[in-house]
Structure 1
Amino acid sequence: MDQSKITVRYAKAFFSLAKEKKQLDLLKTDVELISTLCKDSADFRLLLESPVVKTSKKIKLIQAIFSKKINALSLSFLELITTNKREAHLPGICRNILNLYRLDQGVKTAVLTTAIDMKPAIIAQITAKLEKDLNAEIELSKQVDPKLIGGFVLRVDDQQIDASIASQLRKVKETLLQSEIK
């Protein structure tokens, strides 16, 4: 079965169950913790992906890692995924669950890329302005890309505003090349 189908199906099933039990906020917190561990710990990823470690041993290790950190429903879900030998898909499942949560709660994601690191006060102002203009809660993540030279690139969902110096220089170059050809 296609990996994306697996992650989407498990994510939808778990999200629906958590919504039915009115535990969406707990689900989000738990999934963020699991997702962070998947990103930050190479050892944990190796455990999930290892064909050598037996399923029973993986379940015991997962219980040891998460038993006091996440709620029982989330722990049961992790055990189910491991029992079904789908634990290698856990990062994708977590990503899809968080996307479903944002969609359900009306939260929009935004990525602000700047040439230099911005002060938290400016980030807070940008977030407040976006929330007001879009009439939605905004999850703003920031990135630094010195290649922009200056300005910013703001991506909200599938829309992008490119107000970077690098982009403006590229446009000037294209204009000059076009006028030179004529």
Structure 2
Amino acid sequence: MSETAGISTGIAKRYATAVFDLAKEGKGIKSLESDVAALDAAMGESADLRTLFTSPLYSREEQSAAITAVATKMELSETTRNTLSLLAAKRRLFVMPHLIAVLQDMLAEERGEVTAEVTTAKKLTKAQADKLASTLKAQVGKSVTIKETVDESIIGGLIVKVGSRMIDTSIASKLNALQNTMKEVG
């Protein structure tokens, strides 16, 4: 992890903990969950929003005004709007991708779920995803949400990350292992 990413993650964890605790105290977990989903979707769809969060060219005032307008338009909860305003005032909007990821993890933990990051060579069918989720649920003892990424370079198989555990059954890794073994022999 790069130093900048580590700093961003540290800042994001502190803010996420505070927001999560406020939402929990105010019985606003459901609204926080919908706000996080809406912000995640908006960041994925809007390059302008990502630029607003990361560009140092915008002043505090411009960021504050823009983020207030965005939060109002998106009808975000008061807690989320206040958090975004605070991030803008402190010039910390750049941590938004990390903040959203940390909040998603905290919300999943609150629901008793765990997220499995699954990399496949081609998109899983609904039946395959359900079977994988039930197999992982049996292994980890919690409900599993699958976050799938398609990467054709793994050729076939799966790479599954659940928490700190990783299972790599991809053909690409098997070919690399075979290549390394052959180098050792010859």
TM-score normalized with structure 1 length = 0.82
> Could you say which structure has the larger radius of gyration?
1
The equivalent residue for 1:176 is: 182
Query: Could you tell me the percent identity over the aligned residues?
Result: 27
Aligned residues: 179
2:43 counterpart residue number: 38
Confirm or deny: 8 A CA contact 2:157 2:169 kept in the other structure. yes
Change (3 A) 1:110 1:4: closer
Give the TM-score taking structure 2 as reference length.
0.81
Task: Please state how far the C-alpha of 1:52 moved relative to its aligned partner.
Answer: 5.0
* 1:1-182 matches, cutoff 5 A: 2-67=7-72, 68-180=74-186
8 Å Cα contact 2:118/2:159 also seen in 1: yes
More displaced stretch, 164-173 vs 17-26:
164-173
Provide the C-alpha distance between the structure 1 equivalents of 2:23 and 2:146, rounded to a whole number of angstroms.
Answer: 25
Distance 1:167 1:4, change over 3 A: closer
Q: Secondary structure at the match of 1:171?
A: helix
Gaps of 5+ in 1: none
Q: Distance in 2 between matches of 1:101 and 1:131?
A: 18
Q: 2: CA distance between counterparts of 1:176 and 1:52?
A: 53
- Describe the SS at the equivalent of 2:169: strand
Q: Displacement of 1:97 after TM fit?
A: 2.0
Kindly report the root-mean-square deviation, in angstroms, between the aligned alpha carbons of the 2 structures. 2.3
CA contact (8 A) 2:19 2:79 kept: no
